[in-house]
Amino acid sequence: MPTGSAITLIDLGFVWPDGTVALDGLTASLPVGRTGLVGDNGSGKSTLLRVLAGELTPSTGRVLTAGEVAYLPQTITLAAGTPIADVLGIGVRLAALRAIEAGSTAERHYEELGEDWDVEQRAVGALHAIGLGAEHLDRTVGEVSGGEAMLIAITARWLRRAPITLLDEPTNNLDRDARARLSDLLARWPGTLVVVSHDVDLLDRMDCTAELHGGRLTTYGGPYRQWRTHLDQQQAAAAGAVMAAGQTLRLEQRQRADAEIRLARRNRQAHKDYANKRAPKIVMNTWAMSAEVAAGMLRTGLDGKVTAAREALEAAESRLRDDDRIRIDLPDPGVPDGRRIAELPGARGPLVIQGPERAAIVGPNGIGKTALLEDLVAGRGAGRLLTDRVGYLRQRIDALNDDASVLDNILAAAPGAEAALVRTRLARFLLRGDAVHRAVATLSGGERFRVALARLLLADPPAQLIILDEPTNNLDIASVGRLVDALRDYRGAVVVVSHDDDFLHRLGVMRTLEMRLPGVLTEAG
């Protein structure tokens, strides 16, 4: 494994304009090589990458890097109007080349192109390497699938060959083939990589694991599963230490109480002896003074033991994690078993979705899965909704009002709800305090996702059909588990597009609908 530091953080802090502290006093280093950066949703991973990339200016401290930094945000798919050529970083040069080829003699075109006469050829070659054609150069991000957009953006960073590259959730929306291509790129990646991801298979390809937790950044010299095993062992040891320290404290407290009982008995006997004039008064006074000194010494010693035991318990408890997880409770939408909820376009006629079915739509990137969902919700195409109570979580998370606050976005979906009640429910999605007043435009991809998920799940009246397009994007591993638990207990129908086989298995999918041709589904065996 490569050695040396690629990134050094010195007392790094970042505070949002509304006073929300995102990072506070981070002092750490990330090594040369490939590092997987993990942490719970809301821990500050995306904010940290933006600071490292220079998109955000630290409130305190500084960042030292061993070279230029390239950055891929998880929100790349939101830039729907951006030309693919610009994503690849060749937009200006490609336009200049085409202008010259069309007969232009303008000097500025030659200056913009420089010596890069094969720019289009190289770009087409890069697109072919990831399974895309030359025609994609003339499209925008919004005209390709989320998976295709992500793969193009990753390829662009690879071509840039910066000494340090930051990738935020690079496997979002990628199908199996695309993930295989990404793995190949990572194996050949030039320079240092820092990857934020919830994809365990991807994290296991890293040399090192860094965790952002509790305001600290720590590193472990191994891939994710090794780090996870190490952490679990640490937590098991911490739990054992808490139990042992608790037992010791209770023992010391009991011994302290027993000592007080013995001292009380001695004191009563001394008073009795004094009343009965068992010995001369001066002698008994001497006995009393000696007893008080001995009792004081005994109390001091026992109190010290209790204090030490309590401090040992507190120290042990400090090593035991109390991780903050999202909590999802779905209301009963009142859908009877067998109620027809929707019809999807099938190769041999409509495919009926009934409550409370769980149906998965699978297929390669670019085949049209998202387009099918968009048409279904919009009332276009061959599909048909049989209920007006539909919750739709878009892949691109572009249905939120970026200029409005988190709270206002939720209230728009539940106009009759009280703001105080909504804030209580938002806290379950780790959106607390002043964070609910932040504009959506300032949120990380994971925070945007949680707002969109909360907006869908807190809608009033509750949805009878939930449609999810790549719902595990941007969720940490533990939160995916909470989402699975909530959806499994949900009494409505669920239609989900996902490339996450583990998620689909845990969800208990009843039907798998495969798209082999654009817009047409077939029942998978």
Number of H helices and E strands in the chain, helices first, is 16, 18
pLDDT value, residue 387 = 93
- 22-26 long-range CB contacts below 8 Å, 24 or more apart? 22/47, 23/47, 23/48, 23/51, 23/58, 23/215, 24/215, 25/60, 25/61, 25/215, 26/61, 26/215, 26/216, 26/217
How many angstroms separate the CA atoms of 60 and 46, rounded? 18
518 DSSP assignment: T
Give a yes or no: residue 331 inside a domain: no
Work out the end-to-end distance of the chain between its first and last CA atoms, rounded to an integer number of angstroms: 44
Question: Looking at 222, 248, 279, which one is the last position of a domain?
Answer: 222
Q: Do residues 197 and 277 share a domain?
A: no
Q: Do residues 318 and 238 lie in contact, with contact meaning Cβ atoms separated by under 8 Å?
A: no
How many angstroms separate the CA atoms of 419 and 391, rounded? 21
Give a yes or no: residue 132 inside a domain: no
Q: Do residues 266 and 305 share a domain?
A: yes
Q: Do residues 210 and 276 share a domain?
A: no
Q: Do residues 402 and 483 share a domain?
A: yes
In three-state secondary structure terms, 211 is strand
Q: Do residues 291 and 417 share a domain?
A: no
Q: Do residues 218 and 235 share a domain?
A: no
Amino acid at 69: V
Q: Do residues 183 and 278 share a domain?
A: no
Q: Which of 77, 65, 16 is nearest to 42 (CA)?
A: 16
Residue 367 has φ and ψ, to the nearest 5°, of -80, -25
The domain in which residue 160 lies consists of 5-82+140-222
CATH of the domain at 432: 3.40.50.300
Give a yes or no: residue 91 inside a domain: no
CB count, 10 Å around CB of 335?
A: 22
Q: Do residues 178 and 252 share a domain?
A: no
Q: Do residues 216 and 360 share a domain?
A: no
Give a yes or no: residue 423 inside a domain: yes
136 DSSP assignment: G
Give a yes or no: residue 89 inside a domain: no
Give a yes or no: residue 92 inside a domain: no
Q: Do residues 290 and 194 share a domain?
A: no
442 DSSP assignment: G
What's the domain count of the chain?
A: 3
Q: Do residues 394 and 453 share a domain?
A: yes
pLDDT tens, the chain, 525 aa long: 455 899 999 999 999 887 888 899 999 999 999 999 998 877 889 899 999 999 999 999 999 999 999 999 887 777 788 889 888 888 999 999 999 999 998 999 999 988 889 989 988 988 888 888 888 888 898 888 888 888 888 888 888 889 999 999 888 888 878 888 888 888 888 899 999 988 888 899 999 999 998 888 999 999 999 998 988 888 788 778 878 888 888 887 788 777 767 766 766 666 666 666 666 666 556 656 766 666 667 667 777 787 887 887 777 777 767 666 666 777 788 888 889 999 999 988 899 999 889 999 998 888 889 899 999 999 988 899 999 999 898 877 777 888 899 989 888 888 877 888 888 878 878 788 888 888 888 877 677 878 888 887 777 788 899 999 988 877 777 778 878 887 888 888 999 998 888 889 888 898 999 998 888 899 986
Give a yes or no: residue 209 inside a domain: yes
Q: Do residues 361 and 509 lie in contact, with contact meaning Cβ atoms separated by under 8 Å?
A: no
Q: How many Cα atoms occupy the beta-carbon half-sphere of 286 within 13 Å? A: 5
Q: Do residues 366 and 465 share a domain?
A: yes
How many angstroms separate the CA atoms of 287 and 100, rounded? 111
Q: Do residues 53 and 194 lie in contact, with contact meaning Cβ atoms separated by under 8 Å?
A: no
CA distances from 303 to 108, 250, 252 (A): 84, 13, 9
Question: Looking at 158, 188, 222, which one is the last position of a domain?
Answer: 222
Give a yes or no: residue 329 inside a domain: no
How many angstroms separate the CA atoms of 193 and 17, rounded? 30
Question: Looking at 222, 249, 265, which one is the last position of a domain?
Answer: 222
Residue entry with tokens 């009640």:
421
